[in-house]
Chains A and B, each alone.
Chain A
Amino acid sequence: MTTAPLLKVEHLTMRFGGLTAVNDLSFEARKGDITALIGPNGAGKTTVFNCITGFYKPTEGMITLTQDNGDSYLLERMPDFRISWKAKVARTFQNIRLFGGMTVLENLLIAQHNPLMIASGFTFLGVLGIGGYKAREQQAIDKAAFWLEKINLLDRADDPAADLPYGDQRRLEIARAMCTDPVLLCLDEPAAGLNPRESHDLNTLLLSIRKEMGTALLLIEHDMSVVMEISDHVVVLDYGTKIADGTPAQVKADPKVIAAYLGVDDEEVEKVEAEVGLQ
């Protein structure tokens, strides 16, 4: 491994009152890698995402993002919209959050809000029709069209986003996040609710994003076919604590991971119970 870590999470702890959702978690996501964050329900994966993207302020710990040009950002100190705009971390949501009453194209234009805002002279010039806003908007539309082409939705660009079928909505949300030009894209269960064919298409899309855009991916996923097939690096969480960290093959063979997902043999439970004097 020669590349520097893009995202470095150190001793991240998040407490909600008495509940510790994430406990002293440290891991790294490297540039150009697909890092998967897996774990049983309630393991704290989404909480980790919310900390990275600024929706939660972590109780303890440090999240450092280092960009190609050497700029580094302490994400735990930034408000959410600046994380997207300056640190270039984009995200999708577990329950799709598209702008349903707006067209597919408009969804992708909103993702380019900040550069367009500057092009419109922070609205002042745009209202008067001065400056190159029109040309810049056309560029933004072209970029949106590029992404729509990539997710096969160009035909539906002028339809409201809420009218799309579920699988298309998932892909549109990814395209929308990509329109912010992220260096790190965080995907919260992108394959949830997709049929095998759709999740295969998703794999292709994610791999091509990594290859063509050079964007690193961090994904939460329950669908093991996606995780094992495309990820370079897997981090396993259980009850907010990291229990394994390595390549998919290593993680798959880890007894702790198997225990967390499948439970343990009855004999073993009895043994432990006998040790602590329950029987």
Chain B
Amino acid sequence: MANATIENVKKSFGDVEVLHGISCDIRDGEFIVILGPSGCGKSTLLRLIAGLEKITSGTIKIEERVVNDLEPADRDIAMVFQNYALYPHMTVFNNMAYGLKIRKMTKEEIRNRVHKAAEILELSELLNRKPRQLSGGQRQRVAMGRCIVREPKLFLFDEPLSNLDAKLRVQMRLEIRRLHQSLNITSIYVTHDQVEAMTLADRLIVMDKGFAGQIGTPLEVYEKPANKFVAGFIGSPAMNFFDAEMAGDGKSIRLSSGEGLQLSGEGVTETAEKTVTVGIRPEHFVICDENKAQIHLRTDLVEKLGADTLVHGYFKDNGDALTLRLNGIQHFDRNNLLPMWVAPENVHVFNQQSGDRLN
């Protein structure tokens, strides 16, 4: 258990800089998820922390100790790899014990630790099997067991669930969460799956093109995305974006159709821009009576998913496409004009050029 600090970490491969300075303080026992699309540098960041790659500049500290030049084995970390990286010729027991043997631990101690970890992970029956005799979920657990026995300061996960099928992924996600709650080891977890990220994380680092787009709790990231990228990346279906004009001293926005929406609180206080990008999540539209309506949607296609219904359509008198998510199964005809209302706190305003949040 330990805290860790990442300070302005940069990484270049040859002439190409892939990480442009990432900083983050990780608290003791915290579960950090690094989320981002492929190629955003999230795995690279994890590998830098693990020591599998050398950082170009910046500092990485684990429990106040600078580890920049230490070998992975000397950093007191453990890592779960995407394809498990189990040694195929060793039994489950030996896979878990290997790192301990190298550290010249006594046989007694090794056996105790492995059996304890196996019990936690329900692997006790499988200790004499080879990895190829195990199912995907079991392999995943062995990979975690290999980390647990080491009792590391830092637990690193590199997309550990991406090779599992959907059902197993949900199950393993819960197990990882449970494991973290009982062991309370500081963890850093890389994934491109936002459901995993939202459910596992104490805090999220949302990455884009080598930058940390936002660092915050899942709710912060969902409710107040720091920029258009984060806003669009989190949430499914993705947030709707459309252009609008600022109005009413920055407290509201107006669409080209003439309809408008209220902003919460102070609204947009300081901006020179008149045209902005507005983002609203599909689940935040509320269908209401005509007299309460702020905006109108012309329906196009309706997808009924069972638990909810997706309505695709356009703004009235405007080409911008919109998607709505409504609870339960609802019926709409095509080309129907729907009156709608959006709560002010659910209207996000972004700078049209930079994409930064304005309200």
State yes or no: do A and B come from one complex.
no
Residues of A within 8 A of B (CB): none
